[in-house]
Amino acid sequence: MSETGIYEPFYKVIGKELEVFEHAYLNKLPLLLKGPTGSGKSRFIEYATYKSNQKLITVSCHEETSSTDLIGRYLIKGAETVWQDGPLTKAVKEGYIIYLDEIAEARPDILVAIHSLTDHRRILFMDKIGESLKAHPDFMLVASFNPGYQKGFKELKPSTRQRFIALTFNYPEPKLEAEILIGESSVDKEIAKKLIAIGTKIRNLTELGLTETASTRLLVDAAILIKSGLPKRLATETAIVEPLTDDPEIAEALKDLCNLII
């Protein structure tokens, strides 16, 4: 357990990501985690934060996330209006790591809001109260982004990307991924290997035109269900096949593939 009373998150280091994080943190360089959904970005930042004995604030960005949500707003309390700091302001003041998950999903005004925090100034302009805040020395900005391998995915402007150093996440090699499945679910090694084989097969089936492929997260979910006692075929169907497609024909093909391997 850390000084902050949080247990160490389970995370398998895949490459040099922890080393890069440590140096980014030392120098407080903004860090961008790129990679498909379920590839370990969020888990990694929890782990890296824990390892640096730091506090983490996560903001899951969506289409409505605006700079106001990050910086803060006036709230009406009785006859008074009181200012309430948003998560970014809190992180800047207290010196936390802030993780803007899926930053490209948010409204563009948040990119303006973080602009002056991502360069040597390390200042947050709070336009609503006309103040600017110098960031605490421990403050660090981390964001995640799912690269636009699909039409319709939001892109991040090159000028924004250039404000971050970036780490790419991908599904780990089979041996490591099996260790992740076992670590997360205590499932048997044999089952873990079969689930990885299913994952690898589906990841190579580009002709199916799936929007997203079998992530580590889906394989972990299948492992958890199997460990819990759900029949294996039902577990792979509900944890892997159904989340990936609504098309009955593709679902049949994926089910056959799972049944064959499991």
Ligand X SMILES: Nc1ncnc2c1ncn2[C@@H]1O[C@H](COP(=O)(O)OP(=O)(O)O)[C@@H](O)[C@H]1O
- Residue given tokens 């929890």 in the structure block: 46
Q: Judged by CB, which is closer to ligand X: 217, or 232?
A: 217
Interface with ligand X in residues 41-60 (CB under 6 A): 41-43
> Residue 180 binds what, of Mg ion, ligand X, none (CB under 5 to 8 Å, by partner type)?
ligand X
Q: Judged by CB, which is closer to ligand X: 136, or 227?
A: 227
Q: Judged by CB, which is closer to ligand X: 93, or 217?
A: 217
The answer to the question of residue 21 lying near ligand X (CB under 6 A) is no
Q: Which stretch binds Mg ion (CB under 5 A): 39-47, 91-99, 149-157, 245-253?
A: 39-47
Q: Judged by CB, which is closer to ligand X: 83, or 149?
A: 149
Q: Which residue is nearest to Mg ion (CB)?
A: 42
Sole binder of Mg ion in the list 39, 42, 236, 245 (CB under 5 A): 42
HSE-up of 34 (CA within 13 Å, CB side)?
11
Question: Exposure pattern of 62-100 as b/e (b: 16+ CB <10 Å)?
Answer: eeebbbbbbbbeeeeeeeeeeeebbbbbbbbeeebbbbb
Burial of 7 (0-12, 13-18, 19+ CB in 10 A): exposed
Sole binder of ligand X in the list 216, 240, 245, 258 (CB under 6 A): 216
DSSP states along 67-89? HHHHHEEEEEETTEEEEEE-HHH
| Residues that bind ligand X in the complex, under the rule CB under 6 A | 10-12, 14, 35, 37-43, 169, 180, 184, 216-217, 220
